[in-house]
A and B are shown apart, each in its own frame.
Chain A
Amino acid sequence: MIRFEQVYKRYESQQEALSGLSFELLTGEMAFLTGHSGAGKSTLLKLIALIERSSHGQVIVNNQNLNRLPKWKIPYYRRKIGLVFQEHNLLHDRTVFDNVALPLIIAGENHREIGRRVRAALDKVGLLGKERNLPIALSGGEQQRVGIARAVVNRPPVLLADEPTGNLDPELSREIMHLFEQFNQVGVTVFIASHDQDLINQMPYRHITLQQGKLAENHS
């Protein structure tokens, strides 16, 4: 589903964020991306989400070579990638419902379908009763769950998460991870960047570990 072939990413400051990275994530797999801060985790996820492009090498997602994807096709590509962030990236002047509905509105879904799918997604993350609230009225864990609902609402085959439990206590973190497992069980490829070793060591998934932009470990 996600394949990196000798990928380099160099920033204008000549700093090399990724160098010669190769790995593959299979369809329906769940894996963790680990490493110290600055090891290149965020950069790697940005390459998959096409927020940035590689300097060298191929990034292939869903049989599509991202180097060859023209700029105008990026939005349509992103609709097939669910993104979850540490900072949630919610719109604070809109209700929970409207936040989760955003990807569907963008995709031009009809009104009834939007209502149905948003409620299904909120139900999945356990926030069905809070659809009329503003994000600010929710706790950190709840806000993160809104972010997850938004990421999965248009049923993307790939779910990427960058430090999704970064600001949460261990109990809430485990709940969030459990949510990701549930999506993985229905066939979604899940790739989570996290430095929370204690938490991810408890879970039976592959670790892809980066060290200074290079692959340090790749094991289950």
Chain B
Amino acid sequence: MKLFNIHNYLLRHIQVMLSSLGELWRQPVATMMTLLVIGIALLLPAGLYVILKNVEQVSGEWQHANRISLFLQNDIADKRGQQLAEQLLTWPDINEVSFQSAQQSLNEFREISGLESLLDTLPANPLPAVIIIEPEENQQQEATEALLARLAALPEVDLAQLDMQWLQRLRSINETGQRGITILAILLSLSVLLVIGNTIRLAILNRQTEIRVIKLVGGTNTFVRRPFLYTGMWYGLLGGVLAWITLLISLLIISGPIDELAALYDSQFQLKWYAGQMLFGLPLCGLLLGVMGAWLAVSRHLNAIEPS
């Protein structure tokens, strides 16, 4: 008997679920407009998230730009410098080392600066020899800074400089972007909640007579609430799917120019779509917001509708 009741209960839920979907289907224009509002509100934070994730990926590609320049003392011979470089390569937290003699530095500077005549007037080469070090990848910033301190303490070294300021800037821009998107996502979720809540409120007002009759013949609040919660669920779920489709179309549109741009910069960068993640996340977020919005609207208005 008990099992039988559970069976009826589930059957009833499925019926209500399908009939509330049918209700939306019978008013295609109104439903589509609501779905578009929800879809766009969900699309914006999702799209920005994908863009941000891709920017992170680009900055990850430039990880090796995190390097240390060791400017050697002027009286160190090239040979000693070379030796030091080889020695440093054996350090566990150093990945790559390249030595550039004072003469090479001068040549490079001459090429880049175009100040040949001026340099020729100098009595001696003012530039030091340089060892350029790439630390082990994926190293914590503190570890890199500790390495920097140890390198600076070497007697041959005049100055050790960590060249990552611009990377830090990029990261903090990224961080700001992430916070911004979080705020935007919260605000837009709130708007989805309100849109669904308002739509459900109108549906409740449209069905006042029905609600009164149901209450008169012994319908509980749970029973009355159920179809509206399912309606909210459908709005959110379908809005989420719509957002997903729109996101993929938008990414498809911008992926061509982005590939071109990446090619121009000689980068291996490829736009990541996060399609699977979003296929799961967008409808789920929509569904939760939909049920919550409907719940808010129903609990606010249902008790006011009593038979009289």
Contact = CB atoms under 8 A, between A and B. Distances in A.
27 contacts: A49-B216, A51-B306, A72-B220, A75-B218, A75-B220, A75-B221, A75-B223, A76-B220, A78-B218, A79-B218, A83-B216, A83-B217, A89-B212, A90-B213, A91-B210, A102-B214, A102-B217, A103-B218, A106-B220, A107-B218, A108-B8, A108-B9, A108-B12, A109-B8, A110-B7, A111-B11, A150-B217
Contact of A102 (B5, B212, B213): B213
Interface in B1-46: 4-5, 7-9, 11-12
A75 B215 contact: yes
Contacts of B219: 75, 106
Given A51-B306, A89-B213, A110 B218 contact: no
Contacts of A108: 5, 8-9, 12
Contact of B223 (A89, A90, A106, A110): A106
Interface residues of B, number: 23
Contacts of B139: none
Contacts of A77: 218
Contacts of A69: none
Interface string A194-220: 000000000000000000000000000
A110 B8 CA distance: 6
B217 A78 contact: yes
Contacts of A109: 8
B74 interface: no
Nearest to B4: A110
Interface in A71-126: 72, 75-79, 83, 89-91, 102-103, 105-111
Contacts, number: 56
Contacts of A107: 218
Nearest to A151: B217
Contacts of A72: 220-221
Nearest to B6: A108
A99 to B, nearest CB: 9
Contacts of A105: 12
Nearest to B308: A51
Interface of A: 49, 51, 72, 75-79, 83, 89-91, 102-103, 105-111, 150
Contacts of A90: 213
Contacts of B213: 89-91, 102
Which 3 pairs show the lowest CB-CB distances between chains A and B?
A79-B218, A78-B218, A75-B220
B126 interface: no
A102 B308 CA distance: 19
Contacts of A103: 217-218
B209 interface: yes
A91 B306 CA distance: 16
B177 interface: no
Contacts of B209: 89, 91
B307 interface: yes
A79 B220 CA distance: 10
B12 A76 contact: no
Given A75-B215, A102-B217, 5 more contacts: A49-B216, A72-B220, A75-B223, A78-B218, A91-B209
B112 to A, nearest CB: 82
A51 B214 CA distance: 13
Contacts of A78: 215-218
A167 B289 CA distance: 48
Nearest to B306: A51
A72 B222 CA distance: 10
A78 B213 CA distance: 12
Scoring A78, A79, A109 by chain B CB atoms within 10 A of each residue's CB, the highest score goes to A78
A69 to B, nearest CB: 13
Nearest to B16: A105
A110 to B, nearest CB: 5
Contacts of B11: 111
A78 B218 CA distance: 5
